Every structure is written in structure tokens, then in C-alpha cells.
Amino acid sequence: MTAGGCLLAMSYYGAEKAIAHYNVMGPVKAALEAAVRYMASNSGWRVSASTPFAGSGKTRAASGIEHFDELLERAVHEAPEHRLVTLDDVGSFAAFLVSDAAKAITGNIAYVDAGYHVVG
């Protein structure tokens, strides 16, 4: 990335908090978040991770989490915005991160979770 650019990673709340049935993926995501910080520090690149929690989490990987529907229901109930996050929400944030408007942001782990992280 000698001509600029931005490296983005997708993490998950389970990197920070123990989430039932998330198992080994919690430590894996924690390692990913540490890698984001170290890559930003050592490379001088723009490197960030977003941490969507609910809604956009309906992925193939999430389908392996037992009782995932209950986790989503709890997120809607507890999140300050009382809604699930959409893929558009995550995509809009990613577009912001790669834009010049975010050119001074690096090494950041940002939550895109309708506020769930402040109460979860």
C-alpha cells in the first residue's frame, strides 16, 4: 500500500466479552484486534476494524453459534437503538473509514452495533 489505501477487518463483540457458545472464536477475534493495533503502529498504514454485533451478524460463520436467534433477540431488547444492525449500516461505516474523511483514523476498533456495547 505504498500509494495509500486502508486495511479493514471485521471483528466481533466476543473479542472483548465472553459470549455464550462463541467458544474459540473469542480469542481468535481478540488476536485479530491486537493485529489491527500492531499493524497500524508498525506499518504506518490506515488499519481499522469494525465490530458489528447484531443483525449484520447473520453470516455463515454466525450460523454455527448455538442459540444465535436468542442472542439477536436480546440485542434488540437491550441495545439503546432497539434494533438490529444491517449490512448497509456496516457498509456505510466501512465507506467512511476508507474515505478521506477518516484519513486520521488508524488502529481503531469501532462498534457498529446500535449501541449494544455500552450496555452488553
Name the active-site residue from 12, 13, 111, 116: 12
12 is catalytic: yes
Burial 46-56 (b: 16+ CB within 10 A, else e): bbbbbbbbbbb
13 is catalytic: no
Name the active-site residue from 13, 22, 111, 116: 22
C-alpha to C-alpha distance for 1 and 11, rounded to whole angstroms:
22
Burial 73-105 (b: 16+ CB within 10 A, else e): eebeeebeeeebbbeebbeebbeebeeeebeee
Q: Which residues pair with residue 110 across a beta bridge? A: 50
Active-site positions read 12, 22
